[in-house]
Structure formats: C-alpha cells, structure tokens
Amino acid sequence: MQKLKDRILKDGKVLPGNVIKVDGFLNHRIDPSFMRELAREICSRFDTEGVTTVLTVEASGIAVGTICAEELGVPLVFAKKAKSDNIEGGLYQCDILSYTYKKKVTLMVSKEWLNKNDKVLIIDDFLANGEALRGLINIVDQAGAELRGIGIVIEKGFQDGGNRLRESGLPLKSLAIIDRADENGIVFREDSDTL
C-alpha cells in the first residue's frame, strides 16, 4: 500500500537493533483516520464473506482490529496477555516469546468468544518473528474455527516470521513489507502491494 509506505518513510525512524519506530501513527499514538484507510485496505485483500470474528492481541493490534471489525460488522476479540479477574472459566491458551518485551507471555482467549462455527480474520499491526501470530493461529486451531486470513499492517521481512507463515501455506497479507531497515534507510519489498 503506497500510502502506508510513504507514511513509514515520512514518520518512521530506524533505531539500533533494526527496531522500526512508527509510534507516531500506529502503536503509541494512533491516527484513527489513517487506521480506517489501513483497515479498509486489509479487508479488501481477503474474501471476508462469512467472516464472524476479527481476532487480534493486546495492545497495539486493538486499534486497527476494532476498525476492521467495524468495517466487517462483526465483533473483535483480542487475546489477553495476562490473567485478569475479568476472565472466568475456560480459556484457550498459548505461550509465546514476546519480541517487544523479550520474555515469555501467555496469550489467552475465553472459550465463550471463539468456537468451531467461527470464521476468523486475524489482524495485527506488526509482524516480526511471528510469535504473536503463531499464538493466535494456535488459538484458532484449538477453537476448531476456520482461519480465513491474516492481515498485517507492517511486516519486518528481514525477520523470518512472515516467510515461515507463507511457506506453511497460511493466507498472510501485509500492507507493507520492510526488507531492510538500517542507518541507510528503509527498503520495502518490491511486490508487497500484491502479495
């Protein structure tokens, strides 16, 4: 999506360790009208007929996930990362290694909100090593639900999460794939608009 690439080049910063900082519009400060454009673009890239649920993971997936869900007229379910008093009863759980926080976290979704009749579109703001997505896909499997697609705003193509998921045949589409991010700047994958 050219407009997203332009925004990344305009507002993004590359920090040491190949960290791509886009917290001005995507994951700390949210630009909601741009988020609406991103959500529409993601939804347009999948056959969303019959999708019953958008699934994401707290925290920064919630903004784009909420708007995707509103576009599709279905609920958003977000996986939680820690047990709270507010979830009772049966849970789908999957341990992942958080890239952002460098530690193991457990993703949890209440069995009340996902079951074998659901057709799920997974949405997230960022894809790096794919651990969060692995957890969400595992939870969709545990529920016996149908995974209809995985829509990502920004994929770090130089980490192997995205490629590994594609090689598994999973229906992954990213609005921008960054193949290099260093002191020389940001380089996008040429064909990322059509993947």
Give the interface with its own copies as residue ranges (CB under 8 A): 13, 15, 17, 19, 21, 23-25, 27-33, 35-36, 58-60, 62-63, 66-67, 69-70, 73, 75-78, 80, 82, 84-88, 100-101, 109-110, 112-113
Measured from the CB of residue 70, what is the shortest distance to its own copies in angstroms? Answer: 4
DSSP 163: H
Q: Is residue 82 a contact partner of residue 110, using CB atoms and an 8 Å limit?
A: no
Q: Give the tokens for residue 171.
A: 């229906």
Closer residue to its own copies, CB minimum distance, 88 or 191: 88
Residue closest to 99 by CA, chosen among 17, 24, 187, 183: 17
Closer residue to its own copies, CB minimum distance, 46 or 113: 113
Alpha carbons within 13 A on the beta-carbon side of 71: 22
Measured from the CB of residue 20, what is the shortest distance to its own copies in angstroms? Answer: 8
Closer residue to its own copies, CB minimum distance, 63 or 191: 63
Closer residue to its own copies, CB minimum distance, 87 or 170: 87
Closer residue to its own copies, CB minimum distance, 71 or 193: 71
Measured from the CB of residue 168, what is the shortest distance to its own copies in angstroms? Answer: 27
The DSSP annotation for 67-101 comes to HHHHHHTS-EEEEBSS--TT--S-EEEEEEEETTT
Measured CA to CA, the distance from residue 86 to residue 83 in angstroms comes to 8
Measured from the CB of residue 53, what is the shortest distance to its own copies in angstroms? Answer: 8
Q: Is residue 80 a contact partner of residue 88, using CB atoms and an 8 Å limit?
A: no
Q: Is residue 5 a contact partner of residue 176, using CB atoms and an 8 Å limit?
A: yes
Measured from the CB of residue 50, what is the shortest distance to its own copies in angstroms? Answer: 18
